[in-house]
A and B are shown apart, each in its own frame.
Chain A
């Protein structure tokens, strides 16, 4: 039972980090209908800035600069590529983001080399004990930060002008433009926010249970894809739920690996994708996604 609770706690806290990444996908998808494969490199940008600066300017300032830097790179991608591309389908733009990702990741991994860069966070390797269950403080911090951020965005979508403009754009971008919504500003804002979220996620992916930032940090972004999809690509609630489902599934499947040998060992990594496929079979637009009504 203790093991189960511990795995569950772990799963939930990792899940919230996945949710942060998935939220980035969702925001970009809502605003521009682009599936952003360059998200992994945004993570790397944010993490890299924090890792390089924390020794000289202190952790909190480094974090701020990292967030700003990743947001800037996100906005630049939107401004230089997404806005200018005039293509037949959004699949092509998705592939273009793969190109961006390759360029950024190659250059950053060249900079990082073989090093494992510590991020200099204040939580170090301290652990919080709740009865018999112990959980890393970094994970508690992740949980709190992610919850606050996700709630803030849910409210922002509902009540701020920017949120309304964005929802209008997602609904019908031409009509929104006619109503005076600046599409460019909305989509650039979305990319910048996704970048900022990626930097925050990078922080929590590279602290305590993992030793630091290195070239393989980008793989974590891969796990957020099923999270975003199974929640529904255009739903912020979906991102949260999807992230939690993926995190918990992964933790439980890895933890109980020995009881599931018949599935092959190492099933923990594949499980998120299996769950996603099952959910897509039942609900093709994900759990909370908007169903397309056109049926012919």
Chain B
């Protein structure tokens, strides 16, 4: 490599000297003793992210990427919740603090953000994007960091500290197919289309629809697209050729709008059932609006913010008071209830005097019926099954808060109850 002998030795000497110097005066020089847990003055065991008077929660969100508006709603709703808790005296005599990091839907940034805020946080109140949660899975498990992903792919199940809220996409689609059969006249022998995204969102949903179709004697016509596709004409032509009687939609809002609009324009007037990420109220003012209002429904495990639950009404009022003029979308209720899950886990952990991360996860996993106030009840005691099997059928509505109303109350189909979730 062309390095003369003596300078090489000199480099080695300097390096060794550096090593010797390094051992003194470093803040990191703890001798390797685990500083992980300590017992505070109030007899509560604490760990990373918890001091005598603060509890720090991490928020890993998307404020600049494709889910920017969703991420912003989530973040604001959670900050609202934590403020309300702090005004009411905090948790365990401690104030809640948040660290927000924007990963812009970029895996590398998410990994970097976790390394930065992970050591300072006791739990992650939300993480946007399943690729990001996937990339961090190993670390989250090693750190036993209670994490609420804001994504509902089946692949996120099966990890003790990771809590997917309510239903997963496959459960929603099973309930959706059930809805089509019971109320929309789809019968055994019919073909139904399923338009889905490449990736865990679309493919989780597809698992559900294929399972339900098989049980009910239907055939699924699959059309897979990428998030960059905009124009669904070719897909509609394919569905039309197969003469499908209904179409399931597990794509982004923009593709949903294109699909529904093109189908109706080409005279294919069938019911559409979407996953909860397939719809956004921003679509209603576009030319696709009327088509969406016609025969489109979407399945969701969390109640829409326009529902009659008193907790939702209060949230809508508080949110509008704190962030006047800001549009309310599904991120608001999703973020708020996720914050509720984390705070309740902290409160439980406080009762058992253990605010370490492991303590928080254990406390969280001891709850078997959480969240009646927000609509459906969730079971957190197992982690290889969805927390709930109940999906609402929601319908777009121009006048409603958040752009949608409940069309059918939350229900779990028999199929969903029999369904074995593929965990991995």
Contacts and interface: CB of A to CB of B under 8 A. Distances in A.
Query: A and B bound?
Result: yes
B261 to A, nearest CB: 6
Nearest to B225: A266
B285 to A, nearest CB: 7
A265 B230 CA distance: 17
A251 to B, nearest CB: 5
B65 to A, nearest CB: 9
A2 B238 contact: no
A208 B287 contact: yes
A257 B233 contact: no
A257 B291 CA distance: 26
Contacts of B237: 3, 6-7, 10, 255
Name A's interface SS.
helix
Contacts of A114: 68-70, 280, 282
Contacts of A212: 286-287
Interface in A248-280: 250-252, 254-258, 265-266, 268-269
A269 B287 contact: no
B85 interface: no
A228 interface: no
B107 interface: no
Contact of A136 (B198, B238, B242, B262): B262
Contacts of B64: 110
A216 B228 contact: yes
A222 interface: yes
A65 B64 CA distance: 28
A169 B336 CA distance: 62
A209 B256 CA distance: 11
B129 to A, nearest CB: 15
Nearest to A264: B224
Nearest to A222: B228
Interface in A218-271: 219-220, 222, 250-252, 254-258, 265-266, 268-269
Nearest to A217: B230
B262 A116 contact: no
Interface in B276-330: 280, 282-283, 285-288, 291
Contacts of A139: 233
A127 B68 contact: no
A269 B229 CA distance: 8
Contacts of A193: none
Contacts of A14: 231, 233
Contact of A127 (B231, B232, B266, B280): B266
Contact of B241 (A3, A124, A214, A215): A3
Contact of B233 (A136, A207, A215, A266): A136
A234 to B, nearest CB: 28
B226, B285, B287, B291, most chain A CB atoms within 10 A:
B287
B286 A118 contact: yes
A113 B254 contact: no
B258 interface: yes
Contacts of B231: 14, 209-210
Nearest to B223: A257
Contacts, number: 129
Interface string B251-262: 001100110011
Contact of A3 (B238, B283, B285, B287): B238
A290 B221 CA distance: 45
Contact of B198 (A110, A258, A266): A266
A266 B226 contact: yes
B413 interface: no
A255 B68 CA distance: 32
B373 interface: no
Contacts of A171: none
Nearest to A269: B226
A174 interface: no
A134 interface: yes
Contacts of A255: 234-235, 237-238, 241
A205 interface: yes
A255 B195 CA distance: 12
A217 B228 CA distance: 8
A256 B230 CA distance: 18
A126 interface: yes
Contacts of A207: 287
A126 B221 CA distance: 27
B261 A215 contact: no
Contacts of A111: none
A99 interface: no
B69 A113 contact: yes
B222 interface: yes
Contact of A10 (B228, B234, B257, B258): B234
Contact of A2 (B225, B241, B258, B283): B241
B238 A116 contact: no
21 contacts: A6-B237, A113-B69, A114-B282, A125-B291, A127-B266, A136-B262, A139-B233, A208-B261, A210-B230, A211-B261, A211-B283, A211-B287, A212-B286, A212-B287, A222-B228, A251-B234, A255-B238, A266-B226, A268-B229, A269-B226, A269-B228
Interface of A: 2-3, 6-7, 10-11, 14, 110, 113-116, 118, 124-127, 134, 136, 139, 205, 207-212, 214-217, 219-220, 222, 250-252, 254-258, 265-266, 268-269
Sorted nearest first, the 6 A-B pairs with minimum C-beta distance are A114-B69, A211-B257, A3-B241, A265-B224, A219-B228, A254-B234
Given A2-B241, A127-B266, 13 more contacts: A7-B234, A10-B233, A110-B64, A116-B254, A134-B266, A211-B283, A211-B288, A216-B66, A252-B234, A258-B238, A266-B224, A266-B226, A268-B229
